Every structure is written in C-alpha cells, then in structure tokens.
C-alpha cells in the first residue's frame, strides 16, 4: 500500500479490527517531518486532517480535525463497524437520525455539519466545543445552586429545541452535555450514543418487562443509571423520557448523588423517588424533580419547556418584591421619567395632539435644554440646539398625532378593535419612554450628547409605525405581559450610551441592571438588554468572548419571550462578531444564514443590516471587491427608506468609502469622502465631530496615496475637533494619534512617533478594555518603535503583555504569537538573561511544529535561541546541536527576510564559540569566523 494513502479514508472501515491510532500516526508523521526532514502526507478522514483523539467509547472514536476546505476545526466521530449489528438497517437509521439532527440549529445543541459514508465506513462531522463535560464542570469546584440551575436550564433549552423537531435524545446524562469555554452548555450525541438506537421499533417482539429486562438492558440505547422506566421496559421513548433522564442528572448535580435507578424502583414498585434530605435544596425544586421522575410518563411535566418554566419562575416569584429598589438604582438620571411613563386614560386618549404633550414638551423644557446645550461651551452648541429643537418639535407632533389617530380609529370611527387600540397605545407608551429619557439626558449638559444630538433624535422609534407593529403583534398573538416601564427606561438610557460611543457606560449600566430585570420577569426586556450589552461589548469595547456569551443568552431569552423580532438581530450580531473580532468567516456565514432565515419580510432596514454584515464576512474572506458591491446595495436600500441626511445614510456612505479604500480604489474612496465632507461641513459646520470623523477617513485615504502632508492636515484638524468635544482620552483621538505616529515615523522622527503612540496607548487604557483590538494593535506598533529606539526593557514589557493577552484568549487573531515569543526570547538574551528564555523558545518550536512558518528561514529562530540558552547555561555540547541546525537553515535561505544576513553572521560566530569552548574542530572554528567576516563585509559594501 502507498504509505501516503495508508491512513486516508479507504482504510478507515477497518479501524475497529486493526485498532489503528490515528492521533499517534499523525503525531509520528509531524515529528518525523520536523526532526528528520522526511515527507509524509497528513492523516486524513476525507478532507479532514486528524489532529488528536478527543475520546472513545463503545460507538467509536472522536477526533479533533481540521477542515481543509472551510479552514475550521471540527470534531469527527468515526463509527465502529461492529456497532452496526444490523448492517444496512443500522447504517440507514443512523444516517437518517444524524441528518435530522444536522437540520437542528440551536445555541445549546452541538451542531452537526455533515454525515458521510465511504467504502463501507461512516463518520459524522460536528462542531468542536473546547471545554468540559457537565460532569467535569461540576467536579472542578463547588457550584452554587443558582449556577447549577443556569447550566441545566441551558441544557433543557437544547433538549426542548430537539423535541420541537421530533428528535428524542434517549441518552441524556452529565457526560453528554458540554460546557464550552464561553460557559454555554451544548447537548451532544442526540440519538447517536449506541448503534441499536431503535431496537424496540425494529424488534417488536422484545419483552416489555419482567426478569429478562434486567439482563437485556445493556443491549439497548441509554445508560442504565439515567434510563427512564419506559426505556428499561423496552417501550417506545418520547420527549418525556428525556425529561426523566434530565431530572436524574439534575438530581445528581443538586444532591451530589443520583436517585435510585428506574430498574430498582420498578422492581420495588416504588412510587415517588426518595430524594436525599438537603436543607439547601428548596421545596419547589424537590417537587419539580419528583414530578419529572415519575414512573408513569403521563405524571411528568407536560414538556421540557414546562419544566424550564418551573425552574425559572419559582425563584423569581420569591424575590420579585426585592428587586424594585435595585432597578431604580440602576436607572440613575433616567428615573426622572416617572411622570412621563403614566398610561393614558380612556377619557383623555382622544384629546387633541397639543394637549397630549402638555407637561412633556413645552417652553419651560425647551428653555432648560437650550441652557444645557449652551453650558457645554462647544463652538457648535447653538447650531446643534437649533437643529435638535426642530427635530424634537417634529417628534412630539408625530407622537401626539399617532396617539390621537389611534383613539379616533377605535372610539369614534370603529375601524379597529380594543385589542388593537391597547397594543398601539402600549407601543406609543414605550416610544414616549424613549423620548422622555432622551430629553432628561439632554438636560445633563453632556458634550457627547450635544455632539450627537441629531443622531440620537433620528434614532428614536417612529410612532407612526406603532399601528403596523400592533397589527403584526396581534396576528402573531404577541406577548401577554406588557414590558416593565423601569426596564424600558434602562434600555433607552443604554441606547443613548451606545449611540454616543460610550461603551463602558453602556456595559456598566446594563450589567448592573440585568439581575433586576431578570427578577422583575420582563423576559423580552432581558433579551433586549442582553442584545444591547453584546453590541456595546463587541462594537465599542472589542470584547468578542463577552459579546458571544451575551448574544447566546439573548437568543435564549428572546425565544422564551416569543420575540421573533429579536432573534434575527441576535444571529446577525453573532455573524458580525465572528467575522470582525474572531476572523472566522465560515462560522460567521452559519450565523448569517440563521439571521437571513429569521429576518422580517417587510423591513428594508433589516435587509440592509444583513447585507452590511455579509460585506464584513467578505472582507474576512479577502474579497474586498465583493464587499464593496454589497455595501453599495445596502446604501441603495437605505436611500430609498431614509430621508437625505439621515445618520444611517451617513454611516452607510462612510462604510462604502472605507470599503473602496480596502479594495485599493483609493481615488474613488477619496472622492466619496470629499463629497460627504463638503455636505457635512455645509450642514453642521467644519468643527462638528461628524465632519471630523469623515476627515479622519479622508486622511487615511491620502496617506495610502503617499500624500503625507495632506494626510497630516486632515488628521490634525480632526484631532483638534474631537479633542475639544470628548477630551484627549477618547478612542477616536487615540486612533488618530496612532496614524500620526506612523506619519512621524515616515518622516524619520522616531522620538515624536514614540511619544505620540505612548499617548495613544494611554488614551486606550482610559477608555477600552485591555484586550481591545485597537489597543493590541497599538501595543504592537509601540513595541516596534521601542525596538528601533533600542529600548529593550520597554519592548520586553510590551511583548510580555501581548503574550498575556493572547494566552487569555488563544482564539484571537490580532496577536502575532510567534513573533512575540521570538522577541521575548531574543530580548532576554540581549539583556543577559538568556536562561530565562528557554520556555519561550521551547514554545516557539512547538508552535512551528504545528504551524510551519511561511518563510522557512524563520524556523531558525527557536533553534538559534535554544543554542544561545544552552551556551549561557554552560552546556556548549547542547548549544552546538541547535546552532548547527539553525545555521543550516539560514544558509539555505539567507535572503528570505530582512535581517537574516545579520542573524547568519551571528549564528556562525556563536557556533564557532561553542565549538571552541569544547575544543572541537579548530579548523571549522577558523572557517566559520572567516566566513562570518566575509558575509559581514559583503553586507557593508552592499549598504554603501
């Protein structure tokens, strides 16, 4: 057999008989290639490259593998032939159930990507979930009851999602629930735990109970300790069987031991299971578990959703009275909306529009806001107030008119039902909360709000859309519970923070308010809060893992609340985060497909948002021209929907221009930015932040065109405008300083560039999390500046910080971990601390083994480093072995990378010194030193 084909797919059907270890074979080939230069093909299952074994059991072996086509890591279950005892029947059944599960997409279910068979073999490709099983999660440390219930509710959501599409797990247990590194639970092995999945269906003559049941149990699907009574009897299983197994697992987690097995209870004719006594377990939970563990399926909870409702509702009812004070505290200045949140009475709802806004929008309030705007001392404050007042006047009129029309249509003309009247009135009340929250915020004389006043007013929900929204809600049988007013005020306040780029404030407000929102029981409001939290974490703070956790929770709560209007947004935001923060376009496309399937059918804004995110995916796929086409389409949709000058249009035009720049159509990008800048200056003035943001992009365009002086002019003016509005410690100001630092470096002013970028880092430190992508990029640039300036201790400190950031989140792609490891080791040696560099060079060598560098010469870096370490430790024999390998690599490719000639010279001399230290081969020592001098002289002559 051809050795390169030995472990590819055609041989896998013999895996069970031959007991081949694919992980061991893969490791052997990698080490062989690294140490001896031999060439071996990777170990393959289809198109998937085997990396390691994740686990094995009676059904087969699960491997971690790399999908060469989609560039992602996956888990592959290779089914053992001897587990398919009925041959074609078992194979067909297994394929059918696996493909059914592949259609199931839910945050709490392991996603099956594909199911394949070839030459008699069968394998299943699944989502790879780094983390632990639920059992391991429980065993690692003591867990509070609240934490346990939170994990199990997620598991129950996954089971419920499967039940809704007709899938029964049949083997739920602690080992089949995975807790990912994002703390999200995913259910694995739906219907796939054993080959005899439907034996009861294919063998109807099997006895239903009796003495023979005990002996035969192990032959049928399930794990005895978790089996439901009907499974033990060999009867058909349904969703209530999974509920029983779930309750066994939850009882085991709560009481630290499982209840008596069903087989034992059946033999003893036991009724209610004897659960252990434990004062820490509340009675409501004990009763819920006892019902779920009933021997008769008809006596259990009607469904998993019903059990989830019990697990969520019982503690909430006990504490709801204690929450109001917490919510009020979270509101801050938003508590001033109290009077504005009172509902309308039937007698006053048909009052004329001007009477409806009395006390909400009048001259007294206008005067207070005018004084607040003026108090900011911004040069454009007066103009900003003039435009803001016009916008607020118009909004007040539209809101009042919508309320009047709603009443007339119901009470006077009889055109709509009381139900429609109530739904529309509730919508208008929510809009009033958003409006009055914004008015109270304007009164605080906040410069950020004054700068973005027009955008915030334009972002207010349109009251004229309330009747249409009410009609859709009535058709869908909308939520019976009205949103909580205090919750709405918190959400509106958070939207103001996100609208003014105040990410930390938004995240702090929502994070502090969420416990109270949960206890109040406004599930829809909780879903909105989590979505807003994720947008603040991801878009404003660059916190990808935090955003993903919040989005999965948001999806769960949106589904529980029946908020289909939110689910597409959650999927779309997950796609955005995957593409922009994690650089995972394949994963992003999966989320986007869900968003597209769930999007509202009559929303141009939603269509444009989906196109915008798809353009980000295309950027991650290195297809900038295609991204430009989608951004142009999104802009066209918005132009047909929003009036000219709307902030959403401005943002879409900026995004399109930026895309043109990324596609290297710099002249077009510059023309787009110039046109937009002229419009904004004419409407808002040259010193308005909106115009300054366009100036920043224009400066980047001309910088790329090589027109450095023009770029500096734009950037310096934009910096002055933004600093005057937001102060020096602001992310936008920091980003400008980084670009100006690049211009300084182009002008050979290293000291000025270094000081500028140090200031940018200080600005980021004050405003964004430590691991924010822009801050990480700034650290890398500052590290290079310190290298150029010979400031090795400072560069070493930054390299250490970059490595810490990467290690805290290894999935991120904005840290060149190989370069950082090489820098740390090199700096330590240059500072006379070479022995400390050993773990860094060791790690770099292991990394190169897994991911060979594109430039082969870079393989010499860790080898030379190991040689220096051993030389410094007084072990020249070991040093010689590594330095010989490094020199051989460098001499084969001496000019592949800038600086390699210098490294070659240094390695020659270091090898000569090591040989001399052991008094070996003096002729070789002389030859190495002579060659080093010759290479150095040639390099010097070339430099002249």
Q: Which positions make up the binding site?
A: 77
Coil, helix or strand at residue 3: coil
C-alpha distance from residue 761 to each of 444, 648, 775, 804 (Å): 30, 30, 7, 17
Measure the CA–CA gap between 645 and 652, rounded to whole angstroms.
Answer: 11
Crossing angle for the helix pair 324-331 and 503-520, to the nearest 10 degrees:
160
Q: How many CB atoms lie within 10 A of CB 755?
A: 15
Tokens 């292991």 belong to residue: 846
Contact 92, 84 (CB under 8 A): no
Vertex 678: Cα angle to 677 and 683 (nearest 5) = 95
DSSP states of 484-504 as a string?
PHHHHHHHHHHHHHHHTT-HH
Tokens 């790399």 belong to residue: 66
For residue 49, what is the enclosing H or E element? strand 48-56
Residues marked as binding for ATP?
A: 77
Measure the CA–CA gap between 634 and 937, rounded to whole angstroms.
Answer: 59
C-alpha distance from residue 44 to each of 23, 31, 95 (Å): 11, 17, 21
Contacts 24+ apart (CB under 8 A), 676-679: 676/650, 679/645
Retrieve residue 788's tokens: 């150029």
CA dihedral for 94, 95, 96, 101, sign (positive or negative): positive
3-state helix, strand, coil in the chain (%, to 5): 70, 5, 25
Query: Which value, in Å, is the radius of gyration of the alpha carbons in the chain?
Result: 33
Query: Which residues lie below 8 Å from residue 61, measured CB to CB, with a gap of 6+?
Result: 15, 22, 53, 55, 77, 78, 80
Hey, which residues does 45 pair with through a beta bridge?
48
Query: Which residues lie below 8 Å from residue 123, measured CB to CB, with a gap of 6+?
Result: 12, 45, 46, 76, 77, 78, 79, 115, 116, 117
Longest dimension (CA), the chain: 110
Retrieve residue 426's tokens: 């509730």
Vertex 602: Cα angle to 601 and 606 (nearest 5) = 80
Measure the CA–CA gap between 147 and 149, rounded to whole angstroms.
Answer: 5
Candidates 706, 775, 766, 769; CA nearest to 738 is: 775
Retrieve residue 431's tokens: 């809009």
Pairing of strands 121-127, 131-133: unpaired
CA dihedral for 640, 645, 651, 656, sign (positive or negative): positive
Measure the CA–CA gap between 783 and 776, rounded to whole angstroms.
Answer: 11
Query: Which residues lie below 8 Å from residue 86, measured CB to CB, with a gap of 6+?
Result: 196, 202
For residue 253, what is the enclosing H or E element? helix 239-255
Contact 214, 187 (CB under 8 A): no
Measure the CA–CA gap between 42 and 40, rounded to whole angstroms.
Answer: 6
Q: How many CB atoms lie within 10 A of CB 645?
A: 13
Hey, which residues does 112 pair with through a beta bridge?
126
Tokens 């006892």 belong to residue: 290
Q: How many CB atoms lie within 10 A of CB 314?
A: 16
Candidates 636, 629, 665; CA nearest to 652 is: 636
C-alpha distance from residue 646 to each of 69, 492, 829 (Å): 42, 20, 58
Q: How many CB atoms lie within 10 A of CB 806?
A: 20
């Amino acid at each position: 057999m051809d050795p390169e084909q030995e472990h590819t797919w055609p041989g896998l059907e013999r895996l069970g008989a031959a007991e081949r270890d694919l992980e061991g074979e893969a490791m052997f080939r990698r080490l062989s290639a690294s140490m001896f230069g031999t060439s071996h093909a990777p170990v393959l299952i289809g198109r998937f490259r085997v990396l390691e074994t994740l686990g094995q059991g009676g059904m087969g072996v699960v491997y971690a593998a790399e999908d060469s086509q989609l560039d992602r890591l996956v888990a592959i279950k290779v089914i053992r032939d001897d587990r398919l005892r009925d041959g074609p029947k078992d194979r067909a059944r297994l394929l059918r159930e696996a493909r059914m599960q592949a259609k199931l997409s839910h945050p709490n279910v392991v996603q099956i990507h594909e199911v394949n068979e070839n030459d008699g073999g069968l394998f299943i490709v699944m989502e790879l979930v780094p983390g632990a099983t639920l059992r391991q999660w429980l065993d690692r440390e003591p867990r509070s009851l609240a934490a346990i219930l939170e994990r199990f509710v997620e598991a129950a959501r996954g089971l419920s999602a499967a039940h809704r599409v007709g899938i029964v797990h049949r083997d739920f247990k602690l080992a089949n629930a995975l807790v990912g590194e994002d703390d999200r639970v995913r259910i694995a092995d739906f219907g796939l735990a054993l080959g005899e999945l439907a034996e009861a269906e294919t063998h109807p003559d099997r006895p239903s109970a009796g003495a023979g049941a005990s002996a035969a149990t192990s032959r049928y699907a399930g794990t005895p300790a978790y089996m439901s009574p009907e499974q033990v009897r060999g009867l058909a299983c349904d969703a209530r069987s999974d509920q029983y197994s779930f309750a066994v697992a939850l009882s085991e987690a709560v009481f630290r031991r499982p209840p008596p097995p069903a087989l034992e209870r059946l033999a003893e004719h036991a009724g209610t299971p004897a659960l252990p006594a434990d004062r820490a377990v509340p009675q409501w939970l004990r009763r819920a578990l006892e019902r779920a563990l009933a021997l008769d399926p008809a006596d259990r909870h009607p469904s998993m959703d019903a059990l989830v409702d019990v697990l969520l509702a019982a503690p909430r009812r006990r504490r709801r009275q204690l929450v109001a004070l917490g919510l009020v505290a979270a509101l801050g200045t938003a508590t001033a909306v109290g009077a504005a949140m009172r509902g309308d009475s039937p007698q006053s709802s048909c009052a004329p529009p001007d009477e409806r806004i009395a006390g909400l929008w009048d001259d007294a309030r206008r005067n207070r806001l005018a004084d607040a705007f003026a108090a900011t001392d911004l040069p454009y404050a007066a103009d900003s107030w003039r435009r803001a007042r016009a916008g607020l006047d118009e909004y007040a009129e539209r809101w009042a008119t919508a309320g009047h029309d709603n009443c007339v249509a119901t009470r006077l003309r009889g055109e709509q039902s009381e139900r429609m009247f109530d739904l529309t009135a509730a919508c208008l009340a929510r809009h009033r909360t958003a409006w009055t929250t914004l008015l109270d915020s304007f009164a605080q004389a906040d410069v950020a709000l004054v700068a973005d006043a027009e955008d915030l007013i334009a972002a207010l929900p349109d009251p004229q859309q309330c009747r249409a929204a009410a009609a859709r809600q009535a058709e869908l049988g909308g939520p019976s519970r009205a949103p909580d007013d205090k919750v709405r005020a918190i959400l509106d306040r958070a939207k103001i923070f996100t609208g003014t780029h105040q990410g930390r404030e938004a995240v702090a407000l929502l994070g502090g308010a969420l416990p109270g929102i949960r206890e109040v029981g406004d599930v829809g409001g909780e879903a909105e809060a989590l979505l807003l939290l994720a947008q603040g974490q991801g878009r404003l703070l660059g916190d990808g893992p935090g955003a993903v956790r919040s989005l999965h929770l948001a999806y769960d709560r949106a589904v529980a609340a029946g908020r289909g209007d939110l689910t597409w947004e959650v999927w779309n935001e997950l796609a955005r985060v995957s593409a922009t923060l994690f650089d995972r376009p394949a994963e992003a496309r999966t989320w986007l497909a869900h968003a597209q399937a769930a999007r509202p059918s009559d929303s141009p804004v939603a269509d444009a948002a989906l196109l915008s995110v798809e353009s980000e995916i295309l950027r991650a796929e290195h297809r900038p021209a295609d991204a430009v086409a989608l951004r142009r389409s999104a802009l066209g949709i918005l132009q047909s929907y929003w009036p000219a000058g709307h902030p959403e249009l401005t943002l879409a035009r900026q995004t399109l221009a930026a895309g043109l720049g990324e596609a290297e159509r710099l002249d077009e990008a510059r023309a787009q930015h110039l046109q937009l800048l002229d419009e904004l200056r004419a409407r808002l003035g040259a010193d308005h932040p909106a115009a300054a943001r366009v100036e920043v992009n224009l400066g980047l365009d001309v910088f790329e065109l090589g027109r450095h002086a023009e770029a500096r002019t734009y950037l310096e003016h934009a910096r002055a405008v933004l600093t005057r509005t937001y102060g020096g410690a602001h992310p936008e100001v920091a980003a400008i300083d980084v670009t100006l630092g690049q211009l300084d470096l182009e002008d050979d002013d290293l000291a000025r560039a270094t000081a500028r970028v140090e200031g940018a880092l200080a600005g980021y430190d004050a405003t964004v999390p430590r691991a924010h992508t822009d801050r990480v990029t700034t650290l890398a640039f500052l590290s290079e500046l310190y290298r150029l300036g010979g400031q090795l201790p400072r560069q070493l400190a930054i390299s250490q910080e970059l490595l810490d950031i990467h290690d805290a989140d290894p999935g991120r792609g904005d840290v060149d971990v190989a370069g950082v490891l090489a820098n740390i080791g090199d700096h330590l040696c240059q500072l006379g601390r070479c022995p400390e560099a050993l773990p860094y060079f060791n790690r770099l060598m292991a990394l190169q083994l897994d991911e060979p560098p594109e430039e082969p010469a870079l393989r010499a870096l860790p080898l030379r480093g190991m040689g220096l370490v051993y030389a410094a430790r007084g072990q020249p024999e070991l040093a010689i072995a590594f330095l010989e390998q490094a020199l051989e690599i460098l001499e084969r490719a001496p000019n592949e990378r800038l600086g390699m000639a210098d490294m070659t010279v240094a390695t020659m001399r270091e090898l000569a010194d090591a040989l001399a230290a052991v008094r070996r081969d003096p002729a070789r020592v002389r030859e190495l030193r002579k060659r080093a001098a010759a290479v150095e002289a040639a390099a010097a002559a070339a430099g002249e």
